[in-house]
């Protein structure tokens, strides 16, 4: 939302409340009635705060959308009940894509189902299914989850995103790369439903709690206060047996490779790589090169 938009929406709401919309403005109001520049209205429409009720060459009729009304209500301190408040309905096959990591699965399910938030941070070297865990949670949560990548947080900023979408779950990949402003917002969001927006001195009470699940390669760059807000689960590189199981599982389930080929790839990589991504690359090249040659070219020697 741009600076001043909320004031505009409030004025529009006042206009709508002081007129009988059904009788006087069945085809919506136009820019002249609310005295807002058409380009601004069209932007508010694009952002979802307005609905387009009527459109002809000479007249565009608008009305506040549900989102627009929700934003106004929220900012004025009223709590808005949304579907986001409902408990997540986590099915048993929530993490069916992830091979192994049984304790992590248990921890995540328990945390997401807890009455009040327990935030979980998955930390560890590459290719240990950290992102896959986040994906599975996103798939199960649908609209109630927001997915963010630390290195590419949106221009609007985390605060606005959360205020507008009111997610129940915040999934943050590459947490270590998140910018300072978003990290500061995150710190307060994780502590309770209250968000204070320093920029305008405005306060916003979220009507619900937020669960944060994040992933990072590096813990050392995170501030102590951020680390302290998470249950930190360190994922260790796969041991040899584990690696074989994971590789077979991933290739068969996710790469549509035959069981025989998956076993061959796993066996030939045994002791030479701990990176599941090597196995995936080998399986993808194998149809052209054969498994042995593919691995030789990929790993050298
Ligand atoms: N236990 C596992 N179960 C299923 N797939 C796995 C497992 N471990 C690794 N993989 C596979 O390895 C690849 C990398 O996984 P993912 O992207 O989740 O790793 P990551 O831990 O997020 O790594 P990075 O730190 O590099 O982002 C994916 O294709 C994923 O399917
Ligand atoms: Mg990842």
C-alpha 132 to ligand 1 mean position (Å): 6
User: What contacts 260, CB < 8 A, 6 or more positions away?
Assistant: none
**CA neighbor of 232 nearest in space, from 88, 104, 102, 96:** 104
Q: Is 174 left (phi over 0), alpha (psi -120 to 50) or beta?
A: left
Tell me the per-residue pLDDT of 54-89, one tens digit each, with 9 for 90 and over. 989 888 999 999 889 888 877 776 544 444 555 666
| pTM confidence score | 0.72
Please identify every stretch of the chain with a pLDDT value under 70, giving residue numbers as ranges: 77-89, 92, 153-156, 193-208
Cα–Cα dist 35/33, whole Å: 6
Q: What is the pLDDT of residue 89?
A: 67
133 CA closest ligand 1 atom index:
18
C-alpha 39 to ligand 1 mean position (Å): 45
C-alpha 149 to ligand 2 mean position (Å): 9
Provide the token pair at 180: 């300072």
Tell me the per-residue pLDDT of 89-102, one tens digit each, with 9 for 90 and over. 677 689 988 999 99
7 C-beta neighbours (distance < 10 Å), count: 9
Cα–Cα dist 106/96, whole Å: 13
Ligand 1, atom 13, residue with closest C-alpha: 127
Residues with CB under 6 A from ligand 1: 97-101, 126-132, 215, 217, 246, 250, 254, 276-277, 280
Provide the token pair at 86: 């409902």
Euclidean distance between the first and final Cα of the chain, in Å? 56
- 149: helix, coil or strand? strand
Cα–Cα dist 67/49, whole Å: 5
Q: What is the pLDDT of residue 189?
A: 87
Strand partners, 145: 169
Q: What is the pLDDT of residue 136?
A: 94
Q: What is the pLDDT of residue 159?
A: 80
Cα–Cα dist 264/269, whole Å: 8
C-alpha 93 to ligand 2 mean position (Å): 21
The CA distances from residue 290 to 8, 271, 287, in Å, are: 64, 19, 6
What's the Rg (C-alpha) of the chain? 25
Cβ burial of 193 (10 Å; 0-12, 13-18, 19+) is middle
């Amino acid at each position: 939302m741009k600076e001043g938009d909320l004031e505009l929406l409030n004025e529009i709401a006042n206009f709508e409340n002081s007129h009988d919309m059904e009788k006087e403005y069945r085809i919506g109001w136009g820019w002249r009635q609310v005295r807002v520049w058409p380009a601004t209205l069209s932007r508010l429409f694009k952002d979802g705060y307005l609905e387009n009720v009527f459109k002809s060459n000479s007249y565009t009729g608008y009305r506040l959308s549900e989102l627009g009304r929700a934003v106004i209500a929220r900012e004025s301190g009223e709590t808005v009940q949304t579907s986001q408040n409902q408990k997540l309905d986590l099915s048993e096959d929530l993490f069916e894509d992830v091979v192994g990591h049984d304790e992590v699965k248990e921890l995540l399910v328990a945390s997401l189902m807890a009455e009040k938030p327990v935030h979980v941070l998955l930390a560890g070297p590459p290719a240990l299914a950290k992102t896959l865990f986040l994906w599975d949670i996103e798939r199960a949560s649908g609209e109630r989850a927001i997915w963010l990548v630390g290195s590419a947080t949106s221009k609007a900023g985390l605060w606005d995103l959360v205020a507008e979408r009111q997610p129940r779950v915040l999934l943050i990949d590459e947490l270590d790369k998140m910018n300072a402003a978003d990290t500061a917002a995150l710190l307060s969001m994780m502590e309770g439903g209250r968000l204070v927006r320093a920029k305008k001195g405005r306060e916003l009470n979220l009507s619900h709690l937020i669960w944060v699940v994040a992933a990072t390669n590096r813990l050392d760059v995170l501030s102590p206060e951020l680390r302290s807000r998470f249950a930190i689960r360190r994922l260790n590189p796969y041991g040899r047996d584990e690696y074989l199981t994971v590789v077979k599982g991933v290739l068969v389930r996710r790469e549509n490779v035959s069981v025989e080929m998956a076993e061959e790839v796993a066996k030939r990589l045994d002791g030479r790589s701990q990176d599941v991504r090597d196995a995936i690359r080998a399986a993808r090249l194998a149809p052209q090169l054969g498994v042995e040659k593919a691995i030789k070219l990929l790993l050298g020697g």
